[in-house]
Amino acid sequence: MSNLSDAVLSVIHGRKSVRSFKDGGKAIPQEMLDAIVKAAFAAPSAMNLQPWHFIVIDNRSVLNALGDGLPYAKMLYNASAAIIVCADTKISELSWELDCSAASQNILLSVEAYGLGAVWTALYPQKELTLFVKKLFHLPENIIPLNVIPIGYPNGEEAPKDKYTPQKVHVNEW
């Protein structure tokens, strides 16, 4: 294998959900956040519709407000930033969840590549959570928030999980 393939596979297999961040006072450089969002745009999309929108937050009061209203995202209080992955249902009614999930995975992998930590915190399909974010950001009816991805500097050393299950791999079966 080449150095590039080794590096890519290392990032994929090294990705983990980081829920504990060092004090959120240390900013993530804007160039890094820009690169992370740009990677999200490289995700596959059905018919290349790209129904996604990304809300990038690095404002402490907004991160805290999100933490106040999202019971499974309390790590936002110490995160340095967050990205809310949203979909425009006027662009794609049928496959937006798939497209935005692929973009979310690219965000998570990019964060890992930069040595940062992140975790996918789901909003959709929980109506009360999506409604909270829609109201907080004054989102139009056709914009649906899929998830919030808190990003920060890991507080400690998280280990990736080995999720490989050979019994779930079927070669020329079925």
Domain residue extents for the chain:
16-156
Question: How far is residue 153's CA from residue 140's CA, in Å, rounded to a whole number?
Answer: 32
In the predicted structure, residue 1 carries a pLDDT above the cut 70: no
Q: Quick one: pLDDT at residue 81? A: 98
Locus of tokens 């019994």: 167
In the predicted structure, residue 25 carries a pLDDT above the cut 80: no
Between 115 and 25, the more confident residue is 115
**pTM of the predicted model as reported, rounded to 2 decimal places:** 0.95
Residues 6+ apart with CB under 8 A from 58: 27, 28, 33, 80, 81
**Among residues 89, 92, 97, which one has the least CA distance to residue 141?**
89
Q: 3-state class of 113 per DSSP?
A: helix
How far, CA to CA in Å, does 108 sit from each of 37, 39, 112, 167? 10, 10, 6, 26
Average pLDDT (12-20) is 94
pLDDT in tens, 98-135: 999 999 999 999 999 999 999 999 999 999 999 999 99
Q: Quick one: pLDDT at residue 82? A: 98
In the predicted structure, residue 24 carries a pLDDT above the cut 80: no
Q: Quick one: pLDDT at residue 156? A: 85
In the predicted structure, residue 57 carries a pLDDT above the cut 70: yes
Instruction: Report the share of the chain in percent with pLDDT over 70.
Output: 98
Q: Quick one: pLDDT at residue 96? A: 98
Q: 3-state class of 12 per DSSP?
A: helix
Question: How far is residue 145's CA from residue 81's CA, in Å, rounded to a whole number?
Answer: 17
Average pLDDT (142-160) is 94
Question: How far is residue 56's CA from residue 7's CA, in Å, rounded to a whole number?
Answer: 27
Residue 170 is which amino acid?
A: H
The CATH number of 16-156 is 3.40.109.10
